[in-house]
């Protein structure tokens, strides 16, 4: 059922957009301004438990396409529903495409909403080894998030477990087996979608061999394409079932691109779309921590991601810093550093996914 739903959304997305969107939204979708082309790419962090007037204004103007919520944004269930309602309403008031609200709800050590499923961690589901259990856990999570007004779960993790890997040490991986990881991660994603929440499989093309956290360290995975190939298996499976979103890692893979990390690598974008046939939305992992670790401005990495064709850019710094990144990206496109054609291709994929909500 989840696979069929994914396929139908891709086929019907354009017609859904015209059928259900407000008139102003259809105008923006047909002739987006440069500000809309940049703004819809950005998923940012919100400060506090209630949205500021400035953040709501950015949403109404289409200068951001989504927010990611963390524990610091949450108090009670009722307050969370009120928050998501206000954020969605701001986009509608401005005639913008559906506003995305995301959360990291993997289970286990990464579970931003403590009272919501999943009740099992990925390692626990891996030990059980049942696709049915993983699908049920995904469905329960999707139902809970949907009721809270949340659109996207930055899950499931699709990284294969290795004993030296930081993802394994943090209790976030399913199995040492690529086949089992593919089976269970895809089942969890299918469960999420069955209840109206989009999964975002991560971290392409795989963090199995990363010994340090890519949010805080500069990580290079110096493995051959042959060694990296098993890490592609979960994505191949999910792409076959029309996974709607894939998150790119902050690691560098010299076998594919010796210079750029996956999130801003043209070569890895080509691998995902050209070789594996992915047609959905790509998103970076948070660029904020890795920019600090690299001693580079976050706007420089965001520019690289936009130039590479990565569709959405995740920023978890202050609201002031994400606003500054928006301004920098707008300047770069006006200067011709970022091609408008590349932005339009990303915008079309983003709006098509949003039309399904």
Least confident of 8-22, 117-131, 200-214, 283-297: 8-22
Distance CA 223, CA 148 (A): 41
Phi and psi of 150, rounded to 5°? -100, 135
Percent of all residues in the chain with a pLDDT value above 70, rounded to a whole number? 92
CATH number for 2-317+324-355 (one of 3.20.20.300, 3.40.50.720, 3.90.1150.220, 3.40.50.180): it is 3.20.20.300
Q: In this predicted model, what pLDDT tens digit does every residue of 221-266 receive, in sequence order?
A: 999 999 999 999 999 999 999 999 999 999 999 999 999 999 999 9
Token pair for residue 305?
């991601």
Collapsed DSSP state (helix, strand, coil) of residue 208: coil
Using a cut of 0.85, tell me whether the model's pTM lies above it: yes
| Beta pairing class for 198-199 and 152-153 | parallel
Distance CA 283, CA 216 (A): 19
* pLDDT-derived band at 31, boundaries 50, 70, 90: confident
Given a cut of 90, whether residue 35 has pLDDT beyond it is yes
Given a cut of 80, whether residue 16 has pLDDT beyond it is no
How buried is residue 356: exposed, middle or buried, by Cβ count under 10 Å (0-12/13-18/19+)? buried
Of residues 312 and 30, more confidently modeled? 312
What own/partner pairs with CB < 8 Å and gap ≥ 24 does 214-219 have?
214/249, 214/250, 214/251, 214/285, 214/290, 215/250, 215/285, 215/286, 215/289, 215/290, 215/293, 216/289, 216/293, 217/293, 218/252, 218/290, 218/293, 218/294, 219/250, 219/251, 219/252
Distance CA 204, CA 249 (A): 5
Phi and psi of 69, rounded to 5°? -95, 145
Distance CA 279, CA 349 (A): 8
Beta-bridged to residue 9, according to DSSP, are none
Given a cut of 80, whether residue 14 has pLDDT beyond it is no
Listed in order, strand segments (DSSP E) in 99-234 are 100-103, 105-107, 110-111, 152-153, 198-199, 201-204
Collapsed DSSP state (helix, strand, coil) of residue 246: strand
Q: In this predicted model, what pLDDT tens digit does every residue of 138-158 receive, in sequence order?
A: 999 999 999 999 999 999 999
Q: Delimit the domains of the chain by residue range.
A: 2-317+324-355
Percent of all residues in the chain with a pLDDT value above 90, rounded to a whole number? 91
* pLDDT-derived band at 18, boundaries 50, 70, 90: very low
* Sequence-ordered list of residues with C-beta below 8 angstroms from that of 201, at least 6 positions apart, any chain: 155, 156, 158, 185, 189, 234, 235, 238, 243, 245, 246, 247
Please check whether residue 138 is in contact with residue 107, taking contact to mean a CB–CB distance below 8 angstroms. no
* CA 341 from centre of chain: 22
Beta-bridged to residue 149, according to DSSP, are none
Distance CA 345, CA 341 (A): 6
What pLDDT score does 20 carry? 35
Listed in order, strand segments (DSSP E) in the chain are 42-45, 66-69, 100-103, 105-107, 110-111, 152-153, 198-199, 201-204, 245-248, 281-284, 313-315
């Amino acid at each position: 059922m989840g696979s069929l739903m994914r396929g139908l959304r891709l086929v019907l997305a354009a017609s859904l957009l015209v059928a259900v969107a407000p008139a102003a939204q259809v105008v923006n979708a047909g002739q987006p301004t440069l500000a809309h082309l940049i703004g819809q790419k950005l998923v940012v962090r919100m400060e506090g438990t209630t949205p500021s007037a400035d953040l709501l204004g950015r949403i109404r103007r289409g200068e951001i396409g989504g927010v990611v919520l963390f524990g610091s944004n949450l108090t009670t269930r009722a307050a969370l529903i009120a928050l998501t309602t206000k954020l969605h309403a701001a986009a509608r008031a401005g005639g913008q495409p559906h506003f995305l609200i995301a959360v990291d709800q993997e289970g286990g050590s990464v579970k931003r909403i403590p009272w919501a499923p999943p009740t099992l961690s990925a390692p626990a589901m891996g030990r059980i080894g049942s696709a049915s259990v993983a699908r049920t856990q995904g469905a329960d999570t999707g139902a809970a998030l949907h009721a809270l007004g949340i659109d996207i779960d930055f899950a499931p993790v699709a990284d294969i477990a290795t004993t030296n890997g930081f993802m394994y040490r943090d209790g976030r991986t399913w199995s040492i087996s690529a086949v089992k990881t593919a089976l269970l991660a895809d089942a969890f994603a299918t469960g999420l979608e069955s209840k109206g929440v989009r999964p975002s499989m991560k971290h392409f093309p795989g963090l199995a061999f990363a010994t340090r956290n890519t949010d805080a360290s500069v990580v290079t995975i110096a493995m051959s394409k042959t060694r990296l190939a098993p890490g592609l298996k979960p994505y191949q499976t999910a792409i076959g079932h029309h996974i709607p979103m894939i998150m790119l890692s902050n690691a560098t893979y010299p076998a594919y691109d010796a210079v750029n990390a996956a999130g801003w690598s043209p070569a890895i974008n080509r691998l995902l779309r050209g070789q594996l046939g992915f047609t959905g939305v790509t998103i970076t992992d948070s660029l904020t921590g890795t920019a600090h670790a690299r001693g580079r401005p976050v706007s420089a990495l965001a520019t690289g991601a936009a130039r590479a064709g990565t569709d959405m850019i995740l920023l978890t710094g202050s609201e002031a810093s994400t606003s500054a990144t928006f301004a920098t990206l707008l300047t770069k496109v006006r200067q011709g550093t970022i091609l408008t054609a590349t932005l339009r291709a990303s915008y079309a994929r983003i709006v098509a996914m949003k039309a399904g909500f």
